Amino acid sequence: MTDAVESPRVLTGRTVRVAMLAKTSPWRRTTALRKTVMYSLRLADGRTGYVVVPQELVEHGDEDVPSIARERQRRGEVPGGDIISVKRVR
């Protein structure tokens, strides 16, 4: 005689997907993302790069973003090249 062991994930013939259940919706932005601002960088060769900046750095205006982007270019976080324009995305 064999003992049948039922999986705790199977109820009435349906599979319960425990990993899919979450307290918050996966489509909502997290607290960390709400405290950042994203900018699109248009480069001279036609490429586009993106930089995410903490909101407290740009509370008084977007004037510092090009210098922040150039610093991140030096570190290799953003594609290299001449930055033609900076546009706030979100």
pLDDT tens for 46-76 read 999 999 999 998 888 888 999 999 999 999 9
- Helices in the chain by DSSP H: which ranges? 31-34, 65-75
Residues 53, 40: contact at Cβ < 8 Å?
A: no
Give the number of other CB atoms < 10 A from CB of residue 15: 9
Any idea which of 7-16, 34-43, 70-79 has the lowest mean pLDDT? Answer: 7-16
Report the Cα 27 to chain-centroid distance in Å: 12
Token output for 60 = 């008084």
Q: Greater confidence, 2 or 64?
A: 64
Enumerate the domain spans of the chain. Answer: 29-88
Residue 83 predicted with pLDDT over 50? yes
